[in-house]
Structure 1
Amino acid sequence: MTTQKEKVAAFNELHNSGETFIIANPWDAGSARMLQGLGFKALATTSAGFAQTLGRLDGQVSLEEKLAHCRELCEVTDIPINADFENGFADSPEACAENLIKAANCGLAGASIEDYSGSELYEFELAVDRIAACAEARSKLPYDFMLTARAENLLRGVDDLDDTIKRLQAFEAAGADVLYAPGLRNSEQIKTVLESVSKSLNVLSAFMPDMKLSEYAELGVCRVSIGGGLANYIIAATIAASEDMLANGSFEWMKDATPGATISKLLS
């Protein structure tokens, strides 16, 4: 079994390799094992996808549930896992940093902290102080746990790229290793961000599904994530099959189902 230090080292190496990589987002232990078996080099939790497995909406998971989820995924995989750690499950910098260390102790290679409380964006100074506190706490760990700082403006309906960049620059100065602004919608916005920061950039592919990995690489993006995309794709297939059964009494969708032998191989 790969140790946490080995996973952290591998995660750092991925970010420093100069190659753009996809970080896939499993929603439970089984999907994590399958994605590892399919060849992904790193994974990241999805807060929305995990919440759906509990029959809830994004943002309705407790700290204890999130930590247990992270621990479970780390235990069943041998590759680095980054946690979508939302707002750190706390508003104050001190509590946020304390919870980040709890997450690190689950076996993770990294985690993201966002500047959205669940109802509103944090004021600039508080948002920066939260990342600074997390960076300081992280620096005391016996391994190079990677801290991703998220600027949520664009995702939360605040169409202000200038403020987003201002926050990302401040997060970089505060000690973040990776910067992330979910909601970037085109290559020009990505270029503008990359010209404004020097740390690795994570881009959420959901807003640019027509772009290929090679195009992200040409721009200089380090990491491409899919968020809840795979989980939602599975739900789309479930809805389509269910509607076909209920409306037409048809089971033809089973022709496209993954054979049990394939699933067993991926889980082994």
Structure 2
Amino acid sequence: MSKVEIFRRLHRRRAADDPLVLPGPWDAASARVFAEAGYPALATPSAGVAASLGHEDGQTPADEMFAAVTRITRAVDVPVSADVEDGYGLAPKELVERLLEAGAVGCNLEDSNGGVLKDPHQHAEWLAEVRYAAGGELFVNARIDTFLHGDGDPEQAIERAALYTAAGADCVYPITAPADVLPLLRSGIHGPVNVFAKVGTGPSPAELGELGATRVTFGPGLQRRAAAILHELVQEMG
């Protein structure tokens, strides 16, 4: 069975209190830690990778991001999905080729650029082109930024989700959606739902699963926590 099929199966028939938890490695070393801990798959965070490369979030050159993803996928045997922001302006065919060359089995694709929401119909058309270029070789997670850059209207998020799933997205990701609206989103969205969790605070992954999450990711939270721990260690050394 291919890694992408393994990854797809991990999203299916999940118990309500057992969502797929995908830690976010920012380099090869962190990826090995998560894989050795027993996680069946990983999902890179663009902000965490950016920080490891010395860039601000959203400022990583495409070549550097794909190179970082390649190092991560080579370091572990488990499937790895890659956050490639809004696709770096690449044509769908080239974007898919570069993801596959990097060893990724899936990708996050945002529906905003520079903090501005994209037209959902145009974005859906673009996602459909990505889906066509990828065939069954990539698991496409369509990020919905209405809670991050919009007015936070759950109905708008549901409408975008419908467009994106119709375009071929395998999963949708209403990032930073408040926990209390997750049941509404779950009732209106057909297919897997990715939910953002905060590290060490807020609802646990199991609780998010009971609210409607199919899978849970942490964005750059783990990288930032690791950096904070390192800072504490440096202070102790002094």
| Shift in alpha-carbon separation, 1:204–1:15, aligned structure 2, 3 A | same
Contact 2:31/2:72 (8 A) holds in 1: yes
| Shift in alpha-carbon separation, 1:160–1:41, aligned structure 2, 3 A | same
| Shift in alpha-carbon separation, 1:208–1:51, aligned structure 2, 3 A | same
Contact 1:184/1:190 (8 A) holds in 2: yes
Q: TM-score, normalised by structure 2?
A: 0.91
Matched letter for residue 199 of structure 1: G
Contact 1:109/1:146 (8 A) holds in 2: yes
Matched letter for residue 55 of structure 2: R
What is residue 204 of structure 1 aligned with on the other side? 196
What is residue 33 of structure 1 aligned with on the other side? 32
Contact 1:204/1:226 (8 A) holds in 2: yes
Contact 1:114/1:151 (8 A) holds in 2: yes
Structure 2: runs of 5+ lacking an equivalent: none
Q: Check if 1:121 corresponds to 2:117.
A: yes
Larger-gyration structure (1/2): 1
CA deviations 1:20-78 (Å, max 9, x no partner) are: 12100010000001110011111011111111112110111111111111111111110
| RMSD (CA atoms) | 2.0
Within 2, Cα distance between the matches of 1:238 and 1:67? 26
Structure 1's consecutive aligned runs of 4 or more residues displaced over 4 angstroms after TM superposition are: none
Within 2, Cα distance between the matches of 1:120 and 1:218? 31
Matched letter for residue 27 of structure 1: W
Within 2, Cα distance between the matches of 1:207 and 1:152? 20
CA displacement at 1:209 relative to structure 2: 3.1
- Equivalences, count: 235
What is residue 131 of structure 1 aligned with on the other side? 127
Within 2, Cα distance between the matches of 1:190 and 1:76? 34
Matched letter for residue 152 of structure 2: D
| Shift in alpha-carbon separation, 1:199–1:230, aligned structure 2, 3 A | same
The correspondence for 2:176, drawn from 174, 177, 183, is 183
Contact 1:97/1:130 (8 A) holds in 2: no
The correspondence for 2:101, drawn from 101, 105, 115, is 105
CA displacement at 1:180 relative to structure 2: 0.5
Contact 2:4/2:137 (8 A) holds in 1: yes
What is residue 70 of structure 1 aligned with on the other side? 69
- Give the share of equivalent positions with the same residue, in percent: 29
Within 2, Cα distance between the matches of 1:123 and 1:154? 15
What is residue 216 of structure 1 aligned with on the other side? 208
Q: How does 1:1-268 map to 2 (within 5 A)?
A: 6-19=2-15, 20-90=19-89, 95-139=91-135, 143-156=136-149, 158-186=151-179, 188-206=180-198, 209-242=201-234, 245=235, 250-251=236-237
Within 1, Cα distance between the matches of 2:194 and 2:137? 18
CA displacement at 1:156 relative to structure 2: 2.3
Contact 2:170/2:192 (8 A) holds in 1: yes
Q: TM-score, normalised by structure 1?
A: 0.81
Q: Provide the secondary structure at the position in 2 that maps to 1:41.
A: coil
Contact 1:179/1:201 (8 A) holds in 2: yes
CA displacement at 1:119 relative to structure 2: 4.1
CA displacement at 1:15 relative to structure 2: 0.7
| Shift in alpha-carbon separation, 1:207–1:116, aligned structure 2, 3 A | farther
Q: Provide the secondary structure at the position in 2 that maps to 1:206.
A: coil
Contact 1:88/1:100 (8 A) holds in 2: no
Within 1, Cα distance between the matches of 2:200 and 2:96? 30
Within 2, Cα distance between the matches of 1:162 and 1:44? 27
